[in-house]
Amino acid sequence: MAERCAVIGVGQTHHKAKRDDVSIAGLVREAAKMALADADLTWTDIDAVVIGKAPDMFEGNMMPELYLAPALGAVGKPMFRVHTAGSVGGSTALVAAHLISSGIHKRVLTVAYEKQSDSDAMWALSVPQPFAAPLLAGAGGYFAPHIRAYMRRSGAPEYIGRMVAVKDRRNAMRNPYAHLHIADIDMKMVEESMMLWDPLRYLEACPSSDGAAAMVLSSEDALSGQYPPAWIHGMAMRSEPTMFAGRDQVNPRAGRDCSADVYAQAGITDPRRQIDVAEVYVPFSWYEPMWLENLGFCDLGDGWKLTESGATAFDGDIPWNTSGGVLSSNPIGASGMLRFLEVAMQVRGQAGEHQIGGARVALGQAYGGGSQFFSMWVVGSDKP
Amino acid sequence: MPESEALHASHRLEYPYARSVGPVIGAFLTGLRDGRLLGVRGSGGSVIVPPTEYDPDTGDDTGEVVEVGPGGVVESWAWVPDPLPKHPSDRPFAWALIRLDGADTALLHAVDSGGPDRLATGDRVTVRFRPAAERIGSMADIEAFVPEGGAA
């Protein structure tokens, strides 16, 4: 990276099934104004705005960045839209960071959102195409066979998915912005919930949320705000086609390549020891052990053993998704940015009840599409 | 060799959407249902109609809701001699930008003047709502604007 770049402001909405108290513009402004306030800045201090969301078809709002420009103080300023399916919140933050690291801008506002109550994402993801096999109902229908493949490969016992579901929902109790607050969640409640897509039960799947996330990114000579900056130590994106002969759907190469790149930039050779806390896109419980392997936190086939051992729990040695993660809030377009934002909060020491004490290096990861788009960053409290 | 024929299949994509309009546009639409025209005060004091949650120039929150109209001035217009089925009128009308009394911005709506020779930029017009029982909180609750004094 040519110029250093840091997160100096973060904001997010209270994520809920239906935010009928706000329009889409009101939703994105809620997060953006909070990020500006955190950075002690106003709209006029911002050089450019980068916005992301999942497919336009979700809300039926084509190119929403055009009408949201005045809502985000972007009149007369450069404004960019990013679109990489579910990973878009992460990619959006990275595009914004590139505008700083390239030396083009000093302060960039980046925002991501989804208003699932205005839309019908499950059916938007299940559009039957002529001459093509149906993709079944929603994302869970697509991922469930890959989860089965993982279980067969690794020999993971059935209860691992339930453990992740319980852990992330318990973490969400520490996060006032999380959509789901299920105080009495336990293994039995998950096991007794309805089977949606074998082996995924209802409580092993993410909710449908309305929500937005925003960050202010800054160059080294334009820092502001009450909390110390979260310095970006590495950032990378990779993608691959949804289907091709020989593709490893369980452990996609794009994810492995993306993490190798981001670790190389950040000087990470042993992720499990060097990363203090991680926020990883786990919309369905089994993606925790799968991504533990894909991200190199353990050897292939050992991801479920880390989960089972409690290593990824709040008091484990590599806490994953202390915010409650995507399993507790899923405003799709914003979900990736929330991963990036939450790790920035961790190294800035502003994560409140879900803060991991002494967190200095943190990984944010987002994936999207059919496990084909990946975006990641490593942030740290020390200047790179 | 026989010419190859492209495969064809019908594909109908259809599912419903909803809209949460929020507190400001929501107040405007509720006003239409009640037969009132509402604007909002921008950060510089100007009155924006239709209202927005934010001042489009500054990005700041807008302030109090204020009633405007029912009359206003035509700032610009285009005559539609052959209305399409989806147009708000089945007889010729004008699309016009109308600056309502008390407003600093113009609202786009239909003017039913009876003919292009009976409309000029700068003319005064007034709102004609649909009957109260038919109003649902939509832009179409305004049937059209008409020349003040009922020239049409």
A255 Cα to chain B: minimum distance (Å): 32
**DSSP per-residue letters across chain B:** -PPP-----------------HHHHHHHHHHHHTT-EEEEE-TTS-EESS--SB-TTT-PBP--EEEE-SEEEEEEEEEESS--TTSS-SS-EEEEEEEETT-SS-EEEEE--SSGGG--TT-EEEEEEPPGGG--SSGGGEEEEEETT---
pLDDT tens per residue, range A136-174: 677 898 899 999 999 999 999 999 999 999 999 999 999
Structural domains in chain A (count): 1
Report yes or no: B134 at the A interface, CB cutoff 8 Å: no
Is residue A288 one of the residues assigned to a domain? no
CA dist A321 → A90, A268, A279, A295, A332 (Å): 15, 20, 5, 14, 16
**ipTM value:** 0.86
> Which residues in chain A have Cβ-Cβ distances shorter than 8 Å to B28?
none
B58 Cα to chain A: minimum distance (Å): 6
Q: Is the pTM of this model over 0.90?
A: yes
Position B136 pLDDT exceeds 50: yes
Residue A134: predicted pLDDT:
67
**Inter-chain CB proximity B56 and A119 less than 8 Å:** no
For position A28, which CATH number holds? Answer: 3.40.47.10
Residue B152: predicted pLDDT:
46
Query: Which residue is closest to B62 within chain A, CA to CA?
Result: A71
For chain A, list the strands marked E by DSSP. 5-12, 48-53, 79-82, 107-115, 195-197, 200-201, 210-219, 230-239, 277-280, 361-368, 373-380
Average pLDDT, chain A: 95
Is residue A32 one of the residues assigned to a domain? yes
Query: Which residue is closest to A131 within chain B, CA to CA?
Result: B9
Residue B150: predicted pLDDT:
67
- Tell me how far the alpha carbon of residue A94 is from its chain's centroid: 12
**Inter-chain CB proximity B25 and A120 less than 8 Å:** no
A182 pLDDT tier (thresholds 50, 70, 90): very high
Residue B11: predicted pLDDT:
80
Is residue A60 one of the residues assigned to a domain? yes
Q: A interface mutation test: which of B11, B15, B52 has the most A CBs within 10 A? A: B15
Q: Of residues B95 and B5, which shows the higher confidence score?
A: B95
pLDDT tens per residue, range A327-371: 999 999 999 999 999 999 999 999 999 999 999 999 999 999 999
Is residue A317 one of the residues assigned to a domain? no
What is the rounded distance in angstroms from the CA atom of residue A358 to the CA atom of residue A94? 25
Q: B interface mutation test: which of A22, A36, A44, A109 has the most B CBs within 10 A? A: A22
**Inter-chain CB proximity B53 and A123 less than 8 Å:** no
Position A126 pLDDT exceeds 80: no
> Which residues in chain A have Cβ-Cβ distances shorter than 8 Å to B24?
23
Is residue A76 one of the residues assigned to a domain? yes
> Which residues in chain A have Cβ-Cβ distances shorter than 8 Å to B58?
43-44, 73
Is residue A19 one of the residues assigned to a domain? yes
Percent of chain A with pLDDT over 70: 99
Average pLDDT, chain B: 93
Is residue A108 one of the residues assigned to a domain? yes
